[in-house]
Amino acid sequence: MTNSSPGIPALWSGQAHMPSVLGRQLVIVEGTGAYVTTSAGQTLLDATSGLWHANIGHGRTEIADAVAAQIRKLETYHVFGRFANEVALTLAERLVKLAPVDNAKVIMTSGGSDSADLAFKLARRHWQVQGRPDKRIILSRERSYHGLHAFGTSVTGIEFNREGYGGPSLVPETRRVPTHDLDGIAAVVAEVGAENIAAIVAEPIMGTGGVIPPAPGFLPGLQKLANDNDILFIADEVITGFGRAGAMFACERFGVQPDMVLMAKGLTSGYLPLGGLLVAPGIWGRFYRENAPVFRHGLTYSGHATASVAAHANIDILEKEFLVERSAALESVLHDALSSLSSASGVREVRSGVGFMAGVELDEGVNGEAVSEHCIDAGVIIRCLPGNTMQICPPFIVTEDEIDRIAETLTTAIETVNARPTAAARGV
């Protein structure tokens, strides 16, 4: 068989309008520190850490060496039934010591979308086991993002990710609630009925929805609302976990202890695909009793030995180089570097100062994709998120000078694009 469309790459890219990207793809061939290199030889400062994951930077030989040694010994073995592999066991023990949940257990997955689907399935199964089968609805916040598997697609608060699958929710019985309004969320709970709600999920700091930090007191208030109504509280720390919020987990920073915590990206800094779910004893305890049912869930590569070694090596680097502390220190550096944009023409809002990440929301009339293209042409990768928001989320190993460069490049790009005449002004 041959390619029936010669000249068009066989790879169908994720989240892409393919006619728009063909012939314009940036092919990344190498990465070192905070920089990546394209097949055309352009060196780019990776101000987005790939897809939020390259916390320790690119090209760390410590991880490459650890992975190579593990593959030579045992690439992996599954963790179904009475089987396990040594590295998955040791990683799980390490993770529960770091967890923002007391006496947690760990279910391993292959990534963040896997972890989300797992959490929502487990939430429903938890109530079924207790003889409360009506508690099935999953609440999620407007503008939220929880991956793009079936359940993640169904609970996302980014509407265009939900459209086109034959109904308002690919998996039924989900509902959106206000982003920060506790009274509004309480009203939805009252309307739907707590007796019908299995769980509510929240990102401590929203990522893909526009880098939105929590309102003061929101997360403890949300947890209390959940607890008072016998609803499970799930924290999605796929982005914020492992240092992005200036603590190992954002839940520590905001003083909450969820029933479940989603993990992925920063667990390995993207060196190999791995995710997981931290589960509190109020949930796992029911499945560890002598007469307990089996939780029918598992993935071929969950607890993958080589990926688990990458996670160990990644956490070693975070600890030995004090990179979580560095992330906390750079939070204010990034905030200060972006401060002048708050009053810049074409900028609606700058969201920074909470975690080593920022979102610069542009006015509707400013073409965010054009701003992103201008930044890339200038040597800095900055993405345009939903809501016309520019994402900044650098590796923890960037210098203060590089943070200044990110801010200056974005400022220039916004000024340049904002100064261009619109189609209406040109009489088009």
Query: Do strands 380-381 and 358-362 pair parallel, antiparallel, or not at all (unpaired)?
Result: unpaired
Identify the CATH class of 18-59+322-419. alpha beta
Per-residue pLDDT, 166: 83
Amino acid at 377: D
Fold of 62-320: Aspartate Aminotransferase; domain 2 (3.40.640)
Helix (H, G, I), strand (E, B) or coil at 249: coil
Write down the domain spans for the chain: 18-59+322-419, 62-320
- Residue corresponding to tokens 């034959």: 166
User: Tokens in use for 110?
Assistant: 């292959």
62-320 and 18-59+322-419 share a CATH fold: no
Tell me, rounded to whole angstroms, the distance of Cα 123 from its chain centroid.
20
Per-residue pLDDT, 298: 94
Dist CA 370 CA 74 (whole Å): 47
User: Tokens in use for 203?
Assistant: 């990102």
pLDDT per position in the chain (428 positions), as tens? 666 677 789 999 999 999 999 989 999 999 999 999 999 999 999 999 999 999 999 999 999 999 999 999 999 999 999 999 999 999 999 999 999 999 999 999 999 999 999 999 999 999 999 999 999 999 999 999 999 999 999 999 998 888 898 888 889 999 999 999 999 999 999 999 999 999 999 999 999 999 999 999 999 999 999 999 999 999 999 999 999 999 999 999 999 999 999 999 999 999 999 999 999 999 999 999 999 999 999 999 999 999 999 999 999 999 999 999 999 999 999 999 999 999 999 999 999 999 999 999 999 999 999 999 999 999 999 999 999 999 999 999 999 999 999 999 999 999 999 987 654 333 33
Which residues pair with residue 234 across a beta bridge? Answer: 201, 260
Q: Distance from first CA to last CA of the chain, Å, rounded? A: 47
Per-residue pLDDT, 167: 80
Per-residue pLDDT, 420: 74
Which residues pair with residue 141 across a beta bridge? Answer: 177
User: Tokens in use for 230?
Assistant: 């016998």
User: Tokens in use for 117?
Assistant: 């689907």
Per-residue pLDDT, 426: 36
Per-residue pLDDT, 419: 82
Cα–Cα distance list, 52 to 238, 247, 266 (Å): 9, 16, 8
Per-residue pLDDT, 168: 83
Dist CA 240 CA 206 (whole Å): 9
Instruction: Tell me the whole-structure pTM to 2 decimals.
Output: 0.95
